Amino acid sequence: TAEAASVYAGPAVRQLAREIGITLGEVSGSGPKGRILREDLRAYVKTRLAAPPATALPTLPDVDFAAFGPIETVALSNIQKATVTNMSRSWLNVPHVTQFDHADVTELEAFRDSLKPEMTQRGNKLTPLPFLLLAVARALREHPRFNASLAPDGVNLVLKKYCHVGIAVDTPQGLVVPVIRDVDRKTVWELAAEARELADKARNRKLKLAEMQGACFTISSLGNIGGEGFTPIVNAPEVAILGVSKLALRPVWNGHEFLPRKTLPLSLSYDHRVINGADAGNFLTFLVAVLGDLRRLLL
Ligand code: CAO
């Protein structure tokens, strides 16, 4: 170009600049009369590589906490290190929105209560979780966009014809998400047993890699711990996650009076690139309806 022609550099340097894709006009020469040398190209490339791109996120400042009081530094476990990467990756790549609702689980709880003798007989405890798994499987079938992942090309959606659901399990080593396969083809008893088996394996560090792969959707239950609601982070490349908070007796208006009902707070976080607010509203409303009346699972 005319600009390159006005630059003072020898043919070998020009050739190298062309090969690498450097605009010579941007390089300052350190040779006699400002002649650009090979070293100048090298220095230019080094500076450009070291400089963060204009769009890079500002990094957190390095703080010397010891300057403010006593501290102790402990190493993160491998699981905690993986969590640092996974959470940052999801949070930075997925535009999150969270939708909240309460399911009236008074009937479900009465049903669960009525099954207590059978639980003892079978040696298999039913918490609300296996019912949630089944309800989620049905909601995924009714709303296939939730059982999908954005293809890496960004212009296709991969719809999954299987239904594997991850459950977040808190362990002393950190958060792990074992996956229950084919949730839609299992009974509540089977789901309860499998959830417990996987959670035990997770706590005893016995989970195999394959048992943590392939989830279509995740349930994160903080129910037995407490809280009114939280905004779970989507476990990308899944497109949605259900947060479950503490079941409690709450006053519900029936049009005439407040009735004490057992309600379960639910929060659905979703990837807004794939799912619209209306889709999420429909998904959560469906889930609330199923949990409110389990007969809907028959429909
Ligand atoms: N509200 C009130 N009580 C609840 C509840 C809810 N939403 N969900 C469960 N419970 C009750 C159960 O019925 C059970 O009661 P009983 O002991 O009286 O029968 C008790 O809480 C303990 O349940 P559990 O934790 O043993 O079983 P679970 O099926 O509910 O959960 C699992 C299994 C693996 C999710 C759980 O053990 C766990 O690890 N919880 C922590 C989850 C977590 O850290 N999530 C990560 C969030 S960050 O993404």
Cα 214 from Cα 220, distance rounded (Å): 16
Q: In the prediction, which pLDDT does 48 show?
A: 82
SS3 164: coil
170 Cα–ligand 1 center, Å: 10
DSSP state for residue 69 in the 8-state scheme: S
Cβ neighbors of 274 (< 8 A, separation 6 or more) are 145, 148, 150, 157, 239
The reply to whether ligand 1 has any atom less than 6 angstroms from the CB of 222 is yes
Both tokens assigned to 94: 């997925």
The reply to whether ligand 1 has any atom less than 6 angstroms from the CB of 168 is yes
The reply to whether ligand 1 has any atom less than 6 angstroms from the CB of 221 is yes
Q: Omega into 237 within 30° of 0, i.e. cis? A: yes
Pocket-testing residue among 120, 191, 224, 262, ligand 1, by greatest number of atoms within 8 A of Cβ: 224
Q: In the prediction, which pLDDT does 72 show?
A: 97
Dihedral of alpha carbons 148, 152, 157, 160, sign:
negative
Going through the chain in order, the beta strands assigned E by DSSP cover 96-104, 148-150, 157-159, 165-167, 169-171, 174-176, 179-180, 217-221, 240-244, 248-253, 258-271
Of 160, 106, 143, residue with least CA distance to 287: 143
Cα 35 to chain centroid distance, Å, stands at 54
Cα 287 from Cα 20, distance rounded (Å): 56
Query: Of 103-117, 181-195, 221-235, which range is least confident?
Result: 221-235
Cα 78 from Cα 151, distance rounded (Å): 28
Paired strand residues for 155? none
Tens of pLDDT, residue by residue over 42-56, are 988 888 888 777 777
Cα 175 to chain centroid distance, Å, stands at 12
The answer to whether residues 283 and 136 touch, using CB atoms and an 8 Å cutoff, is no
Pocket-testing residue among 90, 102, 126, 127, ligand 1, by greatest number of atoms within 8 A of Cβ: 127
Q: Is 256 a catalytic residue?
A: no
Both tokens assigned to 145: 């966009």
Report residue 223's pLDDT band, with 50, 70 and 90 as the boundaries.
confident
Instruction: Quote the pTM value.
Output: 0.84
Alpha carbon nearest to ligand 1 atom 8, residue: 223
Of 186, 178, 189, residue with least CA distance to 162: 186
Q: What are phi and psi of 176, to 5 degrees?
A: -130, 155
Tens of pLDDT, residue by residue over 70-129, are 999 999 999 999 999 999 999 999 999 999 999 999 999 999 999 999 999 999 999 999
